[in-house]
Each structure stands twice: as C-alpha cells, then as structure tokens.
Amino acid sequence: MKLRALIFDVDGTLAETEELHRAAFNMAFREAGLHWDWSEGIYHRLLKITGGKERIAAWCAETGDFLSSADIATLHANKTAAYTGMMAAGQITLRPGVDRILGEARARGVMLAIATTTSGANVEALARAVWGCTAREVFDVIAAGDEVAAKKPAPDIYRRALVRLGVSPAVALAFEDSRNGLVAALGAGLRTVVTPSVYTAAEDFAGAWAVLPDLAGFHAFSATPTGIDQGMAPLS
C-alpha cells in the first residue's frame, strides 16, 4: 500500500528537548518556593512516567510533599510558560533528517501528524522556534497533551491521530524516541522508526521497524531505506 501519513512524537524525536524541559521544571519549582531540583539522573528516571503533571505527582508521592491537583496544574502551567520562553529565545534545533523528511512528505502529498503527550502549547513553541510559523502550517493533524485519558504507552493518542487523518495504520509510519512511545505506536498497529534520544538510548526497542541514531540517512519513500535491516518489510 502507498504510504499516506507520517506521525511524529515531539520531545526527543523532532528535537532534543528534554534538557530544556528539565531546566523549565526546575525554574518553575524555584519560582514556587519549592526546594526541588531535578538532576539529570532524577529526570531520566521520571521520564519513564509520561506527562509533566504526572511526573510532578509521582515526585510528590516519592518525597512525601503534598500538592493538590490544582497546585500541580498551576505548577505545570508555569513550567510550560518557562519552556516556551526558552524556545522563543531559540534554544532548540531539529534533529538531523527531520526537516528533509517533512519536506519530502509534503512534496509527495503525504500527510503529517503529531502524536504526543506534551502540551499543545509546547508543540506551538517548537514550531515557532524552528519554522517560524504555527504548528498547523506544518502538520495536518496535531494530537497532543491531555486529549486522551490514557497517555503513552497506551495507544490512545496514536489512535486519535489516525482517526483525524482518516487513514489505517497500514498506510502510516510512526517516529518515536522512547520505549513508551514505541509501545504506544505498536499498540495502534503502526510500523515505527525509533531514533533514541539522549535520555532513552539504553531502552529496549524490540518490535521497532527500525532503530537508527537519527534520520539523517533515512529515506521514508525508498523501498530500502538506509539503516533498515534486510528482513524488514519495505514501505511503499
């Protein structure tokens, strides 16, 4: 079947954003008067929990500190504001190969989508920072944030994106950087290309259609994309 849609995760997949996220969390903590500081090691562990509010709640449970759901939502909103401010200051670039693949897809009439647990505001901030336009000017469909009750590794956000695209998993390809993301995409029936990020390099990517260091040598519309194992089924 002809490939009709590419679906991308955001954090770690389109760009190495996690260090900006970590810095934004710590900034929000300081501004709230909280004596929390997420080191790289702590954040690496917390990334196994999908969703920023969920990570804050997990940290409260771990430390014994109490924040209400409203307090957590406010803290996360302040973190998002700090993150988007850093983005606006130009502190981000796309990972190798991403922009080329997006351009090739557009030239072929292949639809583009986002399926992410990060907020819509963060997706917009990234688009403004790297393309100078809105996310809707780049992607046909954006499934983001709290649109679904169950976040990755649940497949719900990918299923939402597929419904909005109006395509079956058989004619789409997903791009991820983490085990949770891979499991979510596979659960939605999608072939998945994984490009591990700084924080996910040691994770298990069994079941991926391909695992590559980045997308620089990947050609989505070739029968034998660079880096794909010989036993993998080719794309159309």
Catalytic one of 9, 65, 71, 229: 9
Residue 40 pLDDT class (50, 70, 90 cuts): very high
pLDDT at 1: 66
Domains, the chain, in order of start with CATH, read: 5-16+93-211 (3.40.50.1000), 18-88 (1.10.150.240)
Decide if 11 is catalytic: yes
| pLDDT score recorded for residue 232 | 42
Res. 227: pLDDT tops 90: no
Q: Residue 6: pLDDT above 90?
A: yes
- Residue 96, exposed/middle/buried by CB under 10 A (0-12, 13-18, 19+)? middle
Q: Is 177 designated active site?
A: no
- pLDDT, position 145: 87
Mean pLDDT score across all residues of the chain: 91
Percent of the chain surpassing pLDDT 90: 81
d(CA 129, CA 236): 33
Q: For 199-223, what is the mean pLDDT? A: 91
> pLDDT (tens digit, 9 = 90+) per residue, 122-137?
899 999 999 999 999 9
Q: In the chain, which ranges are E strands? A: 5-8, 111-115, 141-143, 172-176, 191-194, 210-211
DSSP for 159-207 reads: HHHHHHHT--GGGEEEEESSHHHHHHHHHTT-EEEE---TTTTTS--TT
Is residue 229 predicted with pLDDT exceeding 90?
no
In the chain, pLDDT over 70 holds for what percent of residues?
A: 94
State the average pLDDT over residues 12-35: 95
Going by the DSSP 8-state scheme, the letter that residue 129 receives in this structure is H
pLDDT score, position 233: 46
- Whether residue 17 has pLDDT greater than 80: yes
Q: What is the pLDDT of residues 46-82, one digit of tens each?
A: 998 989 999 999 999 999 999 999 999 999 999 999 9
pLDDT digits (tens, 9 = 90+) for 87-145: 888 878 999 999 999 999 999 999 999 999 988 988 999 999 999 999 999 999 999 98
Residue 223's pLDDT band (cuts 50, 70, 90):
low
pLDDT at position 235, please? 52
